[in-house]
Amino acid sequence: MKINLVSDTVTIPSEEMLRYMFNAKVGDDVYKQDPTVIALEAQVAEMFGMEAALFFPSGTMANQTAIKLHTQPGEQLIADKWAHIYNYEGGGVSFNSGVSCSLLDGDRGMITAHQVERAINNPEFYHSPLTSLVCVENTTNKGGGACYDFEEFKRIKAVCDSNNLKFHLDGARIWNALVATNDNPKAYGNVFDTISVCLSKGLGAPIGSLLLSDKATINRALRIRKILGGGMRQVGYLAAAGIYALSNNIERLADDHRRAKELANVLQKLPWVAKVEPVETNILIFSVRPNVNEALLIEKLQQKGISISSMGHGKLRIVTHLDYREVMHTYVMETLLKL
């Protein structure tokens, strides 16, 4: 039995999802003539109370498009020091938009309105880059799947409005956050200027993200997507996977969260574990004691058919997902207890 807990991006489409994809009606989406893509975009925009959406091949491209929409070269955005847009998007902030980052020392990847307010450069002081954008991530990836309190989003939005800043949400795991907090997704449309959402993590689709905003902004995003090479042809086959996932795979995310918390409970009992970070959703981060060789530990687990990932410096990560079934979960917990 092979159990991959490296990421929630490793899932394989189910037979039901594949059948739904195979039967999709398609057209040329570069000409905006793919009916399934149009349906998906309308569905997700409506879910979040926003006017329009645009389908992208990746969340990175959707985020980079948002940054390009909201900034000019030489300006600066504000984000947490662990933000995906800074750490895991290949330096695209500087390469694509010519923008620098003011990185804040948040709590598990989450920043506060007070921190944002203090980080804004004086727009009259032309020696410093002009602050133009605030980016947040929900859930936080490097922060261990932590979820923002929505009230903090509202406070950050008030700071943005007072200082003429745009507000972008990297919602790569927004579905996990919504299930964990029971927040209303439509409320997000009232707070953010742009939102990116991903279909290929917790929801189990093979590919795809969407960028949400007002119609005028999405029309501008269409041009940027083209420049970045994101225009796709009969992509309705992939959009169909997203439609299927939205109908069938959101509520079950609670199972992923439960299993991650149960794994955390097991790890807390083990003598070779130094610390287990708080678990809210499907990402579990823990640290081993200084005398434990993390590479050797990963190898031992691989020999037993279990793959997890290293974050360096004795910190390890487990991510539960759609293809991690209960029988696998029982086996992993039993194996951890025997190490």
Task: Note the pLDDT tens digit of each residue in 270-305.
Answer: 999 999 999 999 999 999 999 999 999 999 999 999
Given a cut of 90, whether residue 82 has pLDDT beyond it is yes
Task: Please tell me the pTM assigned to this model.
Answer: 0.96
CA distances for 263 relative to 277, 278, 290, 312, angstroms: 12, 12, 21, 20
Residue 1: the pLDDT is 83
Measured distance CA(176)–CA(231) in Å, rounded: 28
| Contact in structure between 197 and 44 (CB atoms under 8 Å) | yes
| Contact in structure between 8 and 198 (CB atoms under 8 Å) | no
Determine the average pLDDT of the residues in 93-97.
98
CATH number for the domain formed by residue range(s) 3-9+251-338? 3.90.1150.10
Residue 62: the pLDDT is 98
Determine the average pLDDT of the residues in 189-201.
97
Beta strands 52-56 and 209-213 are antiparallel
Determine the average pLDDT of the residues in 32-48.
98
Measured distance CA(209)–CA(221) in Å, rounded: 13
Residue-wise pLDDT tens digits, 221-247: 999 999 999 999 999 999 999 999 999
Given a cut of 90, whether residue 45 has pLDDT beyond it is yes
> Would you place residue 31 in the very low, low, confident or very high pLDDT band (cuts 50, 70, 90)?
very high
> Would you place residue 50 in the very low, low, confident or very high pLDDT band (cuts 50, 70, 90)?
very high
Q: What percent of the chain has pLDDT over 70?
A: 100
- Ordered by start, the domain boundaries in the chain are 3-9+251-338, 15-248
Residue-wise pLDDT tens digits, 112-158: 999 999 999 999 999 999 999 999 999 999 999 999 999 999 999 99
Q: Which residues partner with 197 through β-bridges?
A: 171, 210
| Contact in structure between 310 and 316 (CB atoms under 8 Å) | yes
CA quadruple 7, 12, 16, 18: dihedral sign: positive
Which residues are CB-neighbours of 114 under 8 A, at least 6 positions away?
none
Which residues are CB-neighbours of 123 under 8 A, at least 6 positions away?
130, 131, 164
The CATH architecture that domain 15-248 belongs to is 3-Layer(aba) Sandwich (3.40)
Asked if 3-9+251-338 and 15-248 have one fold, the answer is: no
Residue 26: the pLDDT is 98
> Would you place residue 339 in the very low, low, confident or very high pLDDT band (cuts 50, 70, 90)?
confident
Determine the average pLDDT of the residues in 174-182.
98
Residue 298: the pLDDT is 96
